Amino acid sequence: MAHRVQASIDLKALQHNFSIARSRAKASHIAAIIKANAYGHGLEHSALALNDADLFGVTDVHEALALKNTGISKPILVLQGLIHADELQLIVEHNFELVVHSSSQLTMIDEALSKITIKKPLTFWLKMDTGMGRLGIEPNGFATTYKALLGRPYTGAVNMMTHLANSSIPDSALNLQQLKAFREVEAQLEDESPVTSIPSSSGILSDLPLSCDWARPGIMLYGSSPFNYELEHLRRDKFDLQAVMTLQARIIAIRDLKQGDNVGYCSQYICPKDMRVGIVSIGYADGYPSNAPNDTPVLVAGKHTGTVGRVSMDMLGVDLSEIPEASVGDLATLWGQDLSLDEVAAKTGILSYNLTCSVARRVSFKYL
């Protein structure tokens, strides 16, 4: 590792996690969610590794176009739908599939497509708000909207989808309430035989009754459990998920400090005894969380230790008191297969999704 900070991306682990999603999902098709640069892991490399997916899900038309330009030929779903009418030209040109979640989007689509020649009918995913309170058509008007969209001359197919707000809390009553609302509307559309999509990672890994046509795994593909880390039976290893990203940085100095000495800004850490502290060349400008408290877990020489002092822009301190073999130039592992990203997330109070998405461009990426 020549760079001071490196994120190693294990593409075989990504493929392994996809196989777990495929085996556990109560669905015949899998949409691999690779939005936000594949959760910070690299869009193109991740898409190529996930070649067994039936479809890729991205945030917007610009992400879809970036993915298409890599040479990917699989269907691409734009999850946030239409932001501006001008985007429909790209959607038609590249035959992107499109989520529709509001009546205003339908109006925009009608107006824009009246001016565009379509060579191939489009596939829409009509989203129902069953209780997330974010995006979607209300259940009481969904069937009417579905039939209207299906009858448009530019429509090839309409899938129905929803998103569970609390599937990462398996015993939440809202899960069954949302499913009930969805199934009731699905029954109203029995004659149309709609293709359905419900679960994301937490739904796939839970025991909820989520049988449908499409599942949409995201965070589990990258080796994280979507559940609270305190629930030991729902941690990543219980599902045989493997870490995809390993984040490492160099130790650039080692200090022998005395009891009462200060480490870093604002005296966040005062040495309780004489101790050996390593200075690691990674900080919040690299994407490491600035709010990481003292004793956030770190691995050095294969041994668990913790941070000391406030995280700086380019550096942080780690306790080396029990690791005498550590020396300048050694690597510290901030998360990876032997140190769960989920454990770091739990300690910092930041979602594991946030941690990988925040890794900065200046960090060197290596694909394995």
For residues 165 and 117, give the distance between their C-alpha atoms in angstroms, rounded to a whole number: 38
Q: What is the CA radius of gyration of the chain?
A: 23
Contact 277, 298 (CB under 8 A): no
35, 68, 127, 347: which is the annotated catalytic residue? Answer: 35
The gap from C-alpha 11 to its chain's centroid, in whole angstroms, comes to 16
Task: Tell me the two tokens of residue 202.
Answer: 């937490």
Which DSSP category does 293 fall into? P
For residues 256 and 215, give the distance between their C-alpha atoms in angstroms, rounded to a whole number: 53
The full DSSP string for 53-72 is -SEEEESSHHHHHHHHTTT-
12, 180, 238, 265: which is the annotated catalytic residue? Answer: 265
- Rounded (5°) CA angle 57-63-65: 105
Contact 23, 39 (CB under 8 A): no
Q: Is 353 marked active-site?
A: no
In the block, residue with structure tokens 């824009």:
112
- Rounded (5°) CA angle 197-61-14: 60
Amino acid identity of residue 174, one-letter, is: L
Work out whether strand 269-270 and strand 195-197 pair parallel, antiparallel, or are unpaired: unpaired
Amino acid identity of residue 165, one-letter, is: A
Q: Is 367 marked active-site?
A: no
For the chain, count helices (H), then strands (E).
11, 18
Contact 111, 86 (CB under 8 A): no
Which helix (H) or strand (E) segment holds residue 3: the answer is none
Contact 241, 223 (CB under 8 A): yes
Catalytic site positions: 35, 265
